[in-house]
Structure 1
Amino acid sequence: MKRSVALRKKLENLKNQIKTLQDENKITEAHNMLNELNEVKKELEVTEMLEEEENKSIQDNQGLKAVNQKVDKRIIFNKLVLGKELTQAELDFQNQVGATGQVESVDARGGYLVPVEQAEEIKIYMRGLGQLKDYCNVVKVTSKTGTMPIEVEGAEELINFDEISEINQSDFKFAQVKWNVGDYGDIVPISNTLLDDINVDLVGYVKHKFGRKATKTENKKILEIIKGVSTTVTGKDHKAITTALNTKLNSAISEQAVILCNQTSFDFLDNLEDKNGRPILSVDIQDETKRKYKGRKIIVVDDADLTGGATKDFYVGSIEELISFFDREQITMAISKEAGFTKNVTYIKVIERFDVKKVDDKAMVKVAITPTA
C-alpha cells in the first residue's frame, strides 16, 4: 500500500472523529484534534508530491530503456563524426542521456568526444604497448590548466598536537605544481568505401595507429623528465646500482624502486654473472620474460627512445614519486573529407590531452656504469 493511501485513510478517520465530537457537543476535544488533522494534511501533501516525482522518474527510465533497445551508441557516434543524419530514435536517445558519458558532446575544438566504453578500448590497447604512464602518479583533471600543492622536504613524522601549543611553520615547505594540458593528435586516413558502412568499428580501426603514436609520445615526455634527474652515481660494475639503492634514495622509495634502462644497458646487465656463474638478475615470477635486480623490477625501453653514450645508464627509484601525469581523460575525433577528396579517403583527426610534470627530483637517480675491459 502506498503511504499516500494510508495517510488519506488516516485523514478521513480524523475528520470523522472530529465530526462525532462536534455532534456530541465536545467542542474542546474536537478543537484539540485540529493540530493533528493539519499535520496529516501537510504530510499527505509532501508524500503525494514525492510519489508523483518517483512515478515520473520511473516513466522516464522506462522510456530511456525503450530507446536504448532501438539504437546502437557506436552507430550514433559514427554518424556524428561523419556528419550523417540521425534517426528520430537516435536523436531521442542522444537528448535523453544528455550526451556526456554516452554519445559524447561536441568538443570545444569541433571534434566529438569518444564515448567512455570506446575510449577505454583505446586505453586497454595502449597499456599493452609498454606505457610508462602506468608507473607515474596519474592525476585525473577536468580543466586545461591548474595547480596542485605539494609538500617538499617536509616533516617525515606525524605531529603530536598534545605536546605543543603551536606548529612551527618552518617545518613545512610547500610548492605548486602547475599543469597545462596539451593537445596531442594524429591524422588517420580511412577509405571512403569502408566508411560507407555505418556499422564500421571506427574506434577499433584508428586505435592501432593512434594508440602506438600516443604511447610513444607519452613515453617521450616522461623520459625527458627521467633523463633530467639531478643526482648521478658512477661506477665500474653493477655494484653502483646497489650503492644507489642502499644510500642515494630514501629507504621507503628504495623498497618500491624500479630500474629503467635501454636495450643495450639491459643486455649488459643481463649477461653479468656472479662468481659461481649464476646470472645476477632474477626472473620475475609474475612474468618470466621480465627480470629483477635485488627484487626491483627492470623496465626496458627501446634504444631509439633512450639513447646512450659511452656509459651504461640506469635510472633507479620511483617514477610515481618523480612524475605526475595529468590526464584530461578525453579523446576526440573529427573528420576532414576535403583534404583527401582526390584519393577517395577521409582523414580522421584523433586527439588526446595530457601533461607531465616533475614533482620530487630526489625520488630517482641516474647510475652511469663504465665497464672495465
Structure 2
Amino acid sequence: MNVNQLNDAWISAGQKVSDLNAKLNAAVLDDNFAKDDFEKMKEERDNAAAQRDAIKDQLDEARALEVKNMDKKDKKPLNKKEIDIKDQFVREFKDMVTSTKEGQGNGGLTIPEDIQYTIRTLVRQFATLQNLVNVESVTTTSGSRNYEKLSNITPLADLDDESAKIGDNDDPELTLIKYAIHRYAGITTVTNSLLKDTVENIMAWLSTWIARKVAVTRNLKIIDAMGKPAKKPTIAKFDDIKDLENNTLDPAIMASSSFVTNQSGYNVLSKVKDAEGRYMLQRDVTQPDTYRLDGKTITVVADKWLPDVSGAHPLYFGDLKQGITLFDREHMSLLSTNIGGGAFEQDLTKIRVIDRFDVEVIDDGAWAAASFKSVANQQATTPGTSGSTTDK
C-alpha cells in the first residue's frame, strides 16, 4: 500500500471503531441486554481499535520512508503557511492577548498537542504524586470503568480427578467507577514586555507556569483521594513501620508499594538509626536524589499540601497505581482579558488556563495510612537480648 491507501484505510478503521462504540453505547441501554453478546461486541471493538492504531503506525512509517527516499530536487523550502507550530501558537497567543477589546472577551486558544506534551513532561518532573498513581487519558467528559479488586480474586478450583468436569469460575466482583471531568483554572498577569520576547522564551515561560499550576492542583486532588490518616499516632518505633508494611496489605501488593510522607515527617524519619547507629533512610545508589525506607522508595510532599493531623505526621504505604486513577482529559485551553479580575483598573492583561481531569479511588485496599510524632531508634542488641548464644 502507498501512503494515500494507508491513510484511507486508517480513516476507515477509525470510523469502524466509532460505529462499534456507538453500538456498545446502545447495547448497555437496551432492555434485552445480553452479557455474552456485549462481551463479543466489546472484543470486536478492541480488536478494531488495535487494527486502527497498527494502521496509523504503518502510515507514519510509510510517510517517514517517503520523505527519506525523496529526491533532493523535489525538496522545496517551507512556504509561509508551513511555519513551525510553536511559532504559529505563540503568534496566536499574542493575538489572543492583544486583541481583547473593552467590554468583550475572545474565543480563547486551545493548546496544541505537541505543546501539551512539553507541559506534561514538565508536570511529571514537578509532580511527586501523579507519578505514583495510574493515569488514564480519556476523550469524553464523563464515563465509567469496571474494576476487580485484587483482594476479591478467588483461586481456581482444585480438580483431584483427571476426568472431572471443569466448572465455571466464580463471577468476578466488579466495582463500577464513574468519572466526571472537572475544570480547574488559574489566572496570571502578563506584562507587555513578555509579549515582545522571543518565541522560545514565551514558550518556556508559558509551559513552566502551566505545568506548576497543574502539578500542584493534581497533587491536592490525589491527596484528597488518599484520605487523612487517623489523628492518633500508630507508629512509635521502627518495628511499627515493619508492621505497617507486613500486616496491612495483600502480599501481592507489597513488592510494588512505596511510602509517602510530608516534609516534617521525612525530617523525623531521616534521623532514625538502626541498632548499629546507621540511619534508617538509605540513599538509592542508582538514583542519588531518591531515598529508601526499609528498601522502599519514600516520596516527600511539602507540609503545605500534605499537613500534619493534630500534630502527627502522615505516613502512607502501598501501591497507589492500583488504588487511584487520574482520568486526564488532555484538553487545556487559554483565555485572556484586560477587563475582568481587576485588569481594567490596573491596566493589565490576565490569562486564564484551564486543565481538565478527575481523580477517583479504584481500590481502597491498595494502600494503608498511619501517623507518627516521633520514631525511636532501634535498641542495640546483645546475644542475650537477641536470643542467640555464644560458646564460652
Counterparts of 1:206-245 in structure 2 under 5 Å?
206-228=206-228, 234-245=234-245
Could you state the TM-score of these two structures normalised by the residue count of structure 2?
0.65
Counterparts of 1:250-265 in structure 2 under 5 Å?
250-265=250-265
The equivalent residue for 1:155 is 153
The CA deviation string for residues 109-150 of structure 1, in whole angstroms up to 9 with x for no partner, is 943221122212222222222331111111110001000111
Q: Greater share of helix residues, 1 or 2?
A: 1
CA contact 2:128–2:301 (8 Å) conserved in 1:
no
* RMSD of equivalent CA atoms: 3.4
The CA deviation string for residues 227-273 of structure 1, in whole angstroms up to 9 with x for no partner, is 2479x992321211111211211112111111000111111111111
Deviation at 1:283, TM superposition (A): 1.2
Indicate the SS of the match to 1:134.
coil
The equivalent residue for 2:204 is 204
Give the residue type in structure 1 aligned to 2:203. Answer: V
CA contact 2:262–2:302 (8 Å) conserved in 1:
yes
Does residue 133 (structure 1) correspond to residue 134 (structure 2)? The answer is: no
Matches of 1:208 and 1:287, distance apart in 2: 24
Is there any run of 5+ residues in structure 1 with no aligned partner, and where?
A: 1-57, 85-108
The equivalent residue for 1:349 is 352
Matches of 2:264 and 2:208, distance apart in 1: 27
Give the residue type in structure 1 aligned to 2:321. Answer: E
CA contact 2:128–2:300 (8 Å) conserved in 1:
no
The equivalent residue for 1:30 is none
CA contact 2:229–2:371 (8 Å) conserved in 1:
no
Indicate the SS of the match to 1:356.
strand
Deviation at 1:191, TM superposition (A): 1.9
The equivalent residue for 2:54 is none
Deviation at 1:67, TM superposition (A): 4.4
Matches of 1:224 and 1:235, distance apart in 2: 22
Matches of 2:155 and 2:110, distance apart in 1: 44
The equivalent residue for 1:286 is 286
Q: Which has the larger radius of gyration?
A: 1
Give the residue type in structure 2 aligned to 1:273. Answer: K
Matches of 1:363 and 1:180, distance apart in 2: 22
Q: Which moved more, 1:329-338 or 1:258-267?
A: 329-338
Indicate the SS of the match to 1:349.
strand
Matches of 1:371 and 1:303, distance apart in 2: 16
Does residue 117 (structure 1) correspond to residue 114 (structure 2)? The answer is: yes
Indicate the SS of the match to 1:306.
coil
Matches of 1:365 and 1:312, distance apart in 2: 14
Q: CA 1:163–1:64 in structure 2 vs 1: closer, same or farther (change >3 Å)?
A: farther
Deviation at 1:346, TM superposition (A): 2.4
Matches of 1:122 and 1:320, distance apart in 2: 22
Q: CA 1:168–1:65 in structure 2 vs 1: closer, same or farther (change >3 Å)?
A: farther
Matches of 1:64 and 1:187, distance apart in 2: 43
- Report the count of equivalent residues: 291
Indicate the SS of the match to 1:360.
coil
Q: CA 1:341–1:160 in structure 2 vs 1: closer, same or farther (change >3 Å)?
A: farther
Matches of 2:94 and 2:344, distance apart in 1: 14
Q: Percent identity among equivalent residues?
A: 24
Give the residue type in structure 1 aligned to 2:85. Answer: K
CA contact 2:313–2:371 (8 Å) conserved in 1:
yes
